[in-house]
Chains A and B, each alone.
Chain A
């Protein structure tokens, strides 16, 4: 799965000359937390977040009440945004794993998706990525979710697949992670449709060297 498959296309964007108050209103009304700032031709020049618009005590400590309102009214998006230099972006063809690692590494909530010339074509948020991982694991489909432990020898997974093919079960989602307690083993998580929980358990337990550690039916 690539960024272009999970991003939100045509994101709400603002121009740098918009007032900060207006930008805040747009975010509230549309239930979003990030707004790419673009100039002509949808070229990215910055990003604003709700945090960025929040008043900080140290900034306003020296103002009196009137000055605060006056300053706020005059405040433009251009002066509060995170400038382009400090904004992380991705291209539509990047894999979502790399995108996710970029986000966890830098602790950021959203990445504008840009093409050549920094033209904004979409936006990816943490929520978007979480959703696509859910889909990769087959969450939206109903069926049997089964976790199988197997050794990491070549051919182990093929055994499992062969059984799937024989039983004519459809695999809606698939994922794997290493077993922390047993070196050399890993878990495979499968989402099966058209199968019955009991049948799955017996059939899979019959595979030599493999063990069903968890099975549940998702409806």
Chain B
């Protein structure tokens, strides 16, 4: 309605440098963008691109050795660079608020939440205690905090992570800041909580007219909350455009690459492929002289290597840092031969063997009513003396399924739902409490110490955290060779050759043999981790979130690698992930877990289509989809996951189930009786009281999924 007013924040040609021993490193160069009132500007990029550094530069949190080397940061018309620390402090307090990934960074653990929040108002504003109390409660209600007045009297550790993040957001908004900087505010949260927080951010932006700078690596999140997006690569902003433009017509080759390497919800390995970006982000002290992306760019020409492109404004308001953007047509892009080859073979296979026949393969792993309980020791005297009632954390309850040879079972669920415990029990890191579990013909209910070598050899695991998956003291070769020596799969004299062969199949050269883990990037470490798991030629590989700690471009490469391994060796896999798009892409069958209980299990495409369990429905509607045009139903779960020590009676999901009221008596049966397993055909089972017809009548959560 008004004329375009001056932006709240205008960053021009910002360069931030850190002084290090023997010189300085320019972590950020030539970054320019502006944010208007009520705008939400996303900054995306892989880790180490300088996203957070930009935010820190704005609030002058660069630390003792960082400083703004060039450029200006104008906030409400005033240049922040060169302001006295006192003035900056006042601005930060009154006009700029920050929300970090870890809410505990912003909350004082030894103060009641109410006191912390009130302090914001009483200290500088001279607002009376009781008035401040009212305002804080009001603000907590606005961020949909259940039981707001009560929360005011609690300490930070007494509420869940998602609620902590809400308190931090409420606290940030109390001051009615002109600019809100959010640095990965939802990365540590579960997808259902994340969805609620993102809804909240979008709503508050409209209500308070606050300019939001939103830093994230997740393109799906950007699509959901941002209006403008800036893509950063190796300390530079390479493209800036509206969110619709970025996803519909990415201009910079890097943006195009990023979008190609994420699976969209609904894609599977048979029909599509992921195209990772080759190479890796150059470290700040070894950036190329020309275009910073040239070494990884498919279109790089001599000019790109010699001359650094400037951020150009295209006719339609898109800013891009590329010499040849007009000549690049992403439609003409051809994937590298290797990937192409793979896609063809996979598709070829899919033609030859229909999904049904793969599912009918001989089961390699069979679980029947497997349970894992951990005893909890209370603090009371009775408990210490062993007189108290024995209580258990019911981490896994009644897991029943079988996995056919050569197929992949994906397991999804929020954190704390028992998916990790389940695979730890299968591999033997934990022994099971009751139930049956058979791997081929072996019984695997016992822990590792009871198993014989032949069995141990067949079950191997790929871990989540690339930084702790390798022992820092040994070389790559030694670590991959160890299982070969240990299980005697390869004669000692040939271990080295065999390791090198394995390294090469992981797309790592023989020269990696003598490297130490600290010389490898995250993706390379994860490759070595996979190689180590493969070294004993196991029949079953358990992958515990193997890609969730990696950047998207690397994630695609690792997923492709795992697919390749499976195709060549017909390995069976259990694949845990919290990202539903990745699980859908990667798995043949999917199990959805909630609070230790499998809620739904079946072929991947059946899980993602009605009929589905109400919990699956809620999960699907929470997944951030990297496409701003997709319409997604908005189903949000109330409250947080109940404790596994005392799980709800009847159906474990009944306390949060949004579909319960479809049953008579508002679903009284759900609180009393354990639901039945309902067969929906083709091995698809749903653990719910609602009749199948009702479940099937739900509209699909995501429209595009129905057509798949």
Question: Do chains A and B make direct contact within the complex (CB under 8 angstroms)?
Answer: yes
CB contacts (< 8 Å) of A51 on chain B: these are none
Of B2, B77, B94, B123, which one neighbours A42 at CB under 8 angstroms?
B94
B87 within 8 A of A: yes
CA distance A70 to B93 in the complex (A): 34
- Report the minimal beta-carbon distance from B180 to chain A, rounded to whole angstroms: 11
Q: Is the CB of A10 within 8 A of B178?
A: yes
Interface SS of B by simple majority: loop
Q: Is the CB of A10 within 8 A of B210?
A: yes
Nearest chain A residue, comparing its CB with the CB of B7: A30
Of B2, B8, B87, B93, which one neighbours A10 at CB under 8 angstroms?
B8
CB contacts (< 8 Å) of A13 on chain B: these are 76
Which of B125-133, B408-416, B626-634, B669-677 lies on the face that meets chain A? Answer: B125-133
CA distance A123 to B126 in the complex (A): 21
CA distance A9 to B176 in the complex (A): 9
B442 within 8 A of A: no
CB contacts (< 8 Å) of B211 on chain A: these are 10
B390 within 8 A of A: no
CB contacts (< 8 Å) of A29 on chain B: these are 6, 77
CA distance A143 to B209 in the complex (A): 30
Task: Known A13-B76, A29-B77, A131-B1; judge A40-B6 contact (CB<8 A).
Answer: no
- Report the minimal beta-carbon distance from A39 to chain B, rounded to whole angstroms: 9
Q: Is the CB of A15 within 8 A of B90?
A: yes
Write out, one digit per residue, whether chain B residues 207-220 have a CB within 8 A of any chain A CB (1) or not (0).
Answer: 01111000000000
Nearest chain A residue, comparing its CB with the CB of B131: A116
Q: Is the CB of B125 within 8 A of A119?
A: yes
CA distance A7 to B90 in the complex (A): 24
Of residues 10 to 69 in A, which have CB atoms within 8 Å of B's CB atoms?
Answer: 10, 12-15, 26, 29-32, 38, 40-43
Q: Is the CB of A41 within 8 A of B126?
A: yes
CA distance A217 to B125 in the complex (A): 52
B95 within 8 A of A: yes
CA distance A9 to B76 in the complex (A): 12
Write out, one digit per residue, whether chain A residues 127-165 have a CB within 8 A of any chain B CB (1) or not (0).
Answer: 110010001000010000000000000000000000000
CB contacts (< 8 Å) of B209 on chain A: these are 9-10
Of B2, B87, B93, B126, which one neighbours A117 at CB under 8 angstroms?
B126
Q: Is the CB of A40 within 8 A of B210?
A: no
- Report the minimal beta-carbon distance from A97 to chain B, rounded to whole angstroms: 19
Q: Is the CB of A40 within 8 A of B94?
A: yes
Write out, one digit per residue, whether chain B residues 146-182 have a CB within 8 A of any chain A CB (1) or not (0).
Answer: 0000000000000000000000000000011110000
Of A31, A40, A128, which one neighbours B124 at CB under 8 angstroms?
A40
Q: Is the CB of A131 within 8 A of B2?
A: yes
CA distance A121 to B209 in the complex (A): 11
Of residues 268 to 322 in B, which have CB atoms within 8 Å of A's CB atoms?
Answer: none
CB contacts (< 8 Å) of A119 on chain B: these are 125, 176
Interface size on B, residues (CB 8 A): 28
Q: Is the CB of A8 within 8 A of B5?
A: yes
Number of chain A interface residues as a range: 20 to 34
Q: Is the CB of B37 within 8 A of A9?
A: yes
CA distance A32 to B78 in the complex (A): 14
- Report the minimal beta-carbon distance from A122 to chain B, rounded to whole angstroms: 9
Task: Known A10-B8, A29-B6; judge A135-B1 contact (CB<8 A).
Answer: yes
CB contacts (< 8 Å) of A38 on chain B: these are 94
Task: Known A9-B37, A9-B209, A10-B178; judge A40-B5 contact (CB<8 A).
Answer: no
Nearest chain A residue, comparing its CB with the CB of B91: A15
Write out, one digit per residue, whether chain A residues 145-188 have a CB within 8 A of any chain B CB (1) or not (0).
Answer: 00000000000000000000000000000000000000000000
Nearest chain B residue, comparing its CB with the CB of A140: B1
- Report the minimal beta-carbon distance from A12 to chain B, rounded to whole angstroms: 5
Of B77, B95, B126, which one neighbours A30 at CB under 8 angstroms?
B77
Interface hub of B77, B95, B126, B210 (most chain A Cβ within 10 A): B77
Q: Is the CB of A43 within 8 A of B125?
A: yes
Q: Is the CB of B1 within 8 A of A31?
A: no
Of A14, A26, A41, which one neighbours B125 at CB under 8 angstroms?
A41
Nearest chain B residue, comparing its CB with the CB of A10: B178
CA distance A94 to B177 in the complex (A): 22
CA distance A165 to B1 in the complex (A): 29
Nearest chain B residue, comparing its CB with the CB of A121: B176
Q: Is the CB of A117 within 8 A of B127?
A: yes
Of A14, A30, A41, A135, which one neighbours B6 at CB under 8 angstroms?
A30
Task: Known A12-B76, A26-B78, A42-B95; judge A31-B125 contact (CB<8 A).
Answer: no
Of residues 63 to 112 in B, which have CB atoms within 8 Å of A's CB atoms?
Answer: 76-78, 87, 90, 93-95
Instruction: List 9 A–B pairs whose Cβ atoms lie within 8 Å, in order of A's numbering.
Output: A8-B5, A10-B177, A12-B76, A15-B90, A29-B6, A32-B6, A41-B126, A42-B125, A117-B127
Interface residues, chain A, with chain B CB atoms under 8 Å away: 8-10, 12-15, 26, 29-32, 38, 40-43, 116-117, 119, 121, 127-128, 131, 135, 140
- Given pairs A9-B37, A12-B76, 18 additional interface contacts (CB within 8 A): A8-B2, A9-B176, A10-B8, A10-B37, A10-B76, A10-B177, A14-B78, A15-B87, A15-B90, A26-B77, A29-B6, A30-B5, A40-B93, A42-B95, A43-B126, A117-B127, A128-B2, A131-B1
The 5 closest A-B CB pairs, nearest first, are A41-B124, A10-B178, A9-B209, A30-B6, A41-B125
